[in-house]
Chains A and B, each alone.
Chain A
Amino acid sequence: MDNAGKEREAVQLMADAEKRLKASHSFLRGLFGGNTRIEEACEMYTRAANMFKMAKNWSAAGNAFCQAAKLHMQLQSKHDSATSFVDAGNAYKKADPHEAINCLNAAIDIYTDMGRFTIAAKHHITIAEIYETELVDIEKAIAHYEQSADYYKGEESNSSANKCLLKVAAYAAQLEQYQKAIEIYEQVGANTMDNPLLKYSAKDYFFKAALCHFIVDELNAKLALEKYEEMFPAFTDSRECKLLKKLLEAHEEQNSEAYTEAVKEFDSISRLDQWLTTMLLRIKKSIQGDGEGDGDLK
């Protein structure tokens, strides 16, 4: 692969495009000819960007796509402009996450302006994922997931909206914002329990909501459990509900052995995921609070 050659060619193209653009400004402003010049410059920027991509020079590619997007805007073709911004975002994602977010935000502005909310929502998710993995700014990631969920709901794509909301809830619980997590889980659970296909997963959401209640306050968890059983009778015979009852009992007696036994039995049938492990550990800690459990963390 001749990457250096590609890069040189791309730089050359960028320079040409700039020249062409200047020409359109000085001589043929406002005429038809000016527009075709801009169009040509725009195409050159895109080609340069693709060459930078081949040479793996991501930030240069992002920059070129950005230029193309701005020219598209000048030419009043919003759709092309948005696509170029998304391309720019994808290129920047590999080099400069902040710049990628700026580009994607620009694309989102255009899409919402055109009323294409589903696409806007999709890019909000992309931004949220960048915040989540690259920048580890969970608060901002949550905000974008919420925005995306709102857009999806407006477009009646409820499963996509629920997917985003569940992410928000999981993070909220990790950040110990249990109230928020509970609200979301209850809402999603209530939404899904009447759907013939989704009602089988509703128990998971109620289980998670009850666990969040449990961490905050044992009594609340009991009340919540009763409420869920009333709302959704199928919850009563689920393994999750039985586990909760056992855990509540063990917690009341401050019996950490019974607690562990119950959790272990559940885990032997279906393996606990990391989120559940975290939450169950937090509850277990509250049992051991005054016991010997704390002592050995020195």
Chain B
Amino acid sequence: RNQMSRDFCVHTWPCSYYLELEKRWVPGKLWLTSLSLKFLTDKTGDFLVSFSLADIIEIKKEASHFIFSSVTILEKGHVKHWFSSLQPNRNVVFHIIEHFWRELLLSQPGGAVEASSSRMTKGKELTGLMACSQKRLEDAARVLHYQGEQLDSITSSLDNMESDLDVADRLLKELESPSWWPFSFKLWKMPSDTNSRGGSSMASTKALGKEGIVIRIPAVISQGTESHVKPGRLTILVSGLEIHDSNSLLLHRFEREDVDDIKVHTHYEVSIRQRFIGKPDITFRLISAKMPEVVPILEMQFSKKIEFLEDALMLRSTGTSSPAAKGYSVWQAASRPVDCARHREPSSGNQEGRLLQLQMSEPLISEEDTQELRQILGKLKGLALDAEAELERQDEALDGIATAVDRATLTIDKHNRRVKKLT
């Protein structure tokens, strides 16, 4: 019933697909819709592969035959699909497919937009930061523990070496009395690998100034040419647009007046451009599963500057011509925020002030978030203390190892000299 409206083709990429049975690559097109992934051959035009995004287990970037960069997708039942020689490049395809896969889980079925709940409060942001550092520290603790175990095993193997050296010592003594030497004697080799891994890097994030956020959506971002693609977020503010990367670092901020044009390529893809005289333009291309919800808002805010390209226009006209038949179409769902945006629109001047006031009156960090933060901080402290204890223990172990190695080297040197005398 609403399958039409939700199963638009998002993007196609020229690529080749590996046939496991025939051991060869076939050229064709990879076809992503919002719910499934298909592969169309160039030659016959058949769909060789077609599965729904929900059946994906894993998406990976891999190299086939150690040379060709490919995207591999593991389907339910552990069927692995190899897609290679992807145009324009692999990262673009990878990020976009992953994005739509995740949105299956994270977006509401009705497409209801929650402009308010998608707005991060300060407390949430802090919690996110803390949770991130906690995770890093947990990983570091695991590595530290592993390292401790390795040091222990080194100590025990050094003990073994020492006893072996004692045996060698005894044998040498025996040999030194008579003067014949029929065997070749091999020196003891010592395997020692201590790998210390560097500490984990903390992702630094920057809190953003809060002001009249209309909506924030996750999106896949590319700047200028399509070769640099990364996941991130698009935030629409009353006063402009902000583009962040996945670490919440601000990539670019368009003031409202600065935006020169917005092109809507397809339902899911827009590009935003700011022109400069004598300098290259700043262009961002954004792909997002939530884009249908945002386009109407953009249309409200930048009515003169927005431009619908052919594909999108067609979709749009079908969307508006028969809204009743569609039932729960994305467009209709998306019209809700338009209404509220419309409410705000006329008085955008003092409305900003009102929003600010609203946020001032809210406590900066809610009770619940404080609770969460307190807990995480407690855990962080515990972890740090335990890590310190473990480090001290390892320090002692290392001292022991250092002296044992010194001793062993001395004995081996001595043995070497004695062996040379014997031969």
- Whether B7 sits at the interface, judged by CB under 8 Å, is yes
CB pair B138–A200 under 8 Å, yes or no, is yes
CB pair A296–B35 under 8 Å, yes or no, is yes
CB pair A270–B135 under 8 Å, yes or no, is yes
> Which chain A residues (238-262) contact chain B, with CB distance < 8 Å?
239, 256-257, 260-261
In the assembled complex, the Cα of A159 lies from the Cα of B151 at a distance in Å of 13
> Which chain A residues (282-298) contact chain B, with CB distance < 8 Å?
284-285, 288, 292-293, 295-298
Bits for B102-121, please: 1 = Cβ < 8 Å to A, else 0: 10111111101000010010
Q: Which residues of A are found within 8 Å of B2, using beta-carbon distances?
A: 292, 296
CB pair B142–A159 under 8 Å, yes or no, is yes
Q: How many A-B residue pairs have CB under 8 A?
A: 113
How many residues on the B side are at the interface (Cβ–Cβ under 8 A)?
A: 56
The segment from A6-14, A46-54, A215-223, A272-280 found at the interface with B is A272-280
Q: A200-B138, A297-B36, A297-B54 are in contact. Are A256 and B109 (CB under 8 A)?
A: yes
- Whether A195 sits at the interface, judged by CB under 8 Å, is yes
Q: A94-B66, A118-B153 are in contact. Are A198 and B80 (CB under 8 A)?
A: no
CB distance from B227 to the nearest CB of A (A): 24
CB pair A274–B153 under 8 Å, yes or no, is no
Chain A residue with Cβ nearest B129: A269
Chain A residue with Cβ nearest B77: A175
- Whether B196 sits at the interface, judged by CB under 8 Å, is no
CB pair B109–A198 under 8 Å, yes or no, is no
- Whether A179 sits at the interface, judged by CB under 8 Å, is no
Bits for A187-202, please: 1 = Cβ < 8 Å to B, else 0: 0000000011110110
Of A261, A278, A298, the residue contacting B56 (CB under 8 A) is A278
- Whether A263 sits at the interface, judged by CB under 8 Å, is yes
In the assembled complex, the Cα of A175 lies from the Cα of B74 at a distance in Å of 11
Q: Which residues of B are found within 8 Å of A133, using beta-carbon distances?
A: 62
The secondary-structure label for the interface of chain B is helix
- Whether B412 sits at the interface, judged by CB under 8 Å, is no
Bits for B12-52, please: 1 = Cβ < 8 Å to A, else 0: 00000000000000000000000110000000000000001
In the assembled complex, the Cα of A118 lies from the Cα of B157 at a distance in Å of 12
CB pair A197–B54 under 8 Å, yes or no, is no
CB pair A260–B145 under 8 Å, yes or no, is no
CB pair A296–B6 under 8 Å, yes or no, is yes
CB pair A200–B141 under 8 Å, yes or no, is yes
Contact residue range for chain A? Answer: 35 or more
Chain B residue with Cβ nearest A118: B153
> Which chain A residues (173-212) contact chain B, with CB distance < 8 Å?
174-175, 195-198, 200-201
CB pair B149–A157 under 8 Å, yes or no, is yes
CB distance from A162 to the nearest CB of B (A): 9
CB pair A274–B59 under 8 Å, yes or no, is yes
Of B66, B128, B138, the residue contacting A201 (CB under 8 A) is B138
- Whether A158 sits at the interface, judged by CB under 8 Å, is yes
Q: Which residues of B are found within 8 Å of A160, using beta-carbon distances?
A: 146, 149
Q: Which residues of A are found within 8 Å of B379, using beta-carbon distances?
A: 200
- Whether B271 sits at the interface, judged by CB under 8 Å, is no
In the assembled complex, the Cα of A94 lies from the Cα of B246 at a distance in Å of 35
CB pair B35–A270 under 8 Å, yes or no, is no
In the assembled complex, the Cα of A280 lies from the Cα of B131 at a distance in Å of 20
CB distance from A160 to the nearest CB of B (A): 7
In the assembled complex, the Cα of A278 lies from the Cα of B58 at a distance in Å of 8
- Chain A residues in the interface with B (C-beta under 8 A): 94, 118, 133, 136, 138, 155, 157-160, 174-175, 195-198, 200-201, 237, 239, 256-257, 260-261, 263-264, 267-272, 274-275, 277-278, 280-281, 284-285, 288, 292-293, 295-298
13 contacts between A and B (CB under 8 A): A157-B149, A159-B146, A197-B141, A198-B141, A200-B134, A257-B112, A260-B105, A267-B106, A270-B128, A270-B132, A285-B54, A292-B1, A296-B2
- Chain B residues in the interface with A (C-beta under 8 A): 1-3, 6-7, 35-36, 52, 54, 56-59, 62, 66, 74, 78, 80, 101-102, 104-110, 112, 117, 120, 124, 127-128, 131-132, 134-135, 137-138, 141-142, 144-146, 149, 153, 246, 372, 375, 379, 382-383, 386-387, 389-390
